[in-house]
Structure formats: C-alpha cells, structure tokens
C-alpha cells in the first residue's frame, strides 16, 4: 500500500480509540428556551423595490424607454416610463411618454390616466390642446 493510505489509517486510529475511552455521558434535557427561527434567505430580486426621489435614475429609465419606443416595443417602453414616474412622480415628460406608449398598446384607461397626470403637471404645455383632444377620444 502507499504511504498515504497508512498515514490516513494512523490518523484515524486516535479518533476511534478516544471515542471508546470516554465514559458515557447522560444526556440532560436542555433548558426550555424558545428557539428563534431565522427567516429563510430570500432572493434579493424578489424583494419589492423601494422608490425614493431620484431624478437621475428617472432620466435613465426615460432614456431606455425611448430606445424601446423607437424599436416599437411599446410594452417594454411603458414599463420603463412607469419606472421613471416612480422615481420622480413630478416628471411630466415621463407621464406624457407613458400615455403615448399605453395609447399605442391600446390600453385606453391607462393612457388616459397618464395623459391626465401630464396635464396636471403641465397645464400650459405646447401640446396641451392635442392631449386634451386625445383624452376626449379615449372616452
């Protein structure tokens, strides 16, 4: 046999011999303490996003939404515009673009809500008349 096998066998002998030399211990019941169970480890992606005012992140979401809109991926664009409005609820441009994306998807109720919020934030906008007309058409 190789030297490694002998070394392994010799290293295991004291452990096995020591186990038999000890007197048997009586198991005593542990003190009845309530055990606090840790919550299971969760995936960080499953936690709900906590939004705080962050105009830089809102602008990034808007820019990514614009790229999706150019590619005619209106669902993805609407999702990004919605994220932008969550990071900055007073971001009028994001509300307008969200309304346009939802309008393209034919989600009339959501488009109307986004357009209405845009007009609340920008009542004197250049395109306010066009948006009011579009809201009337969506009803």
In contact, 126 and 106? CB cutoff 8 Å = no
pLDDT at position 49? 80
Single out the residue of 82, 91, 86 nearest to residue 122, CA to CA: 91
Tell me which CATH homologous superfamily contains domain 52-138: Tetratricopeptide repeat domain (1.25.40.10)
C-alpha to C-alpha distances, 54 to 62, 64, 81, 84, 117, nearest whole angstrom = 12, 16, 14, 9, 19
The arithmetic mean of pLDDT across residues 41-60, rounded, is 84
Question: Is pLDDT at 30 greater than 60 in this prediction?
Answer: no
Question: Is pLDDT at 24 greater than 60 in this prediction?
Answer: no
Give 71-119 pLDDT, tens digit per residue.
Answer: 999 999 999 999 999 999 999 999 999 999 999 999 999 999 999 999 9
pLDDT at position 46? 74
In contact, 62 and 88? CB cutoff 8 Å = no
pTM above 0.75, yes or no: no
Q: Which residue has the higher pLDDT, 98 or 28?
A: 98
Please report, for the chain, the start and end positions of each structural domain, with discontinuous segments joined by +. 52-138
Place 50 in a pLDDT band, splitting at 50, 70 and 90.
confident
Q: Which residue has the higher pLDDT, 14 or 113?
A: 113
Distance CA 80, CA 97 (A): 10
Give 59-70 pLDDT, tens digit per residue.
Answer: 999 999 999 999
Distance CA 134, CA 131 (A): 5
């Amino acid at each position: 046999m190789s030297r490694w096998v002998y070394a392994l066998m010799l290293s295991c002998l004291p452990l096995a011999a020591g186990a038999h030399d000890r007197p048997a211990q009586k198991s005593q019941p542990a003190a009845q303490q309530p055990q606090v169970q840790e919550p299971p480890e969760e995936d960080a992606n499953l936690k709900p996003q906590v939004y705080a005012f962050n105009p830089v992140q809102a602008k990034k979401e808007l820019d990514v939404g614009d790229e999706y809109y150019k590619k005619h991926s209106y669902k993805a664009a609407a999702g990004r515009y919605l994220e932008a409005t969550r990071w900055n609820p007073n971001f009028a441009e994001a509300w307008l673009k969200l309304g346009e994306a939802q309008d393209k998807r034919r989600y009339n109720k959501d488009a109307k809500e986004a357009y209405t919020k845009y007009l609340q934030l920008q009542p004197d906008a250049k395109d306010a008349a066009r948006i009011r007309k579009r809201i009337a058409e969506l009803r």
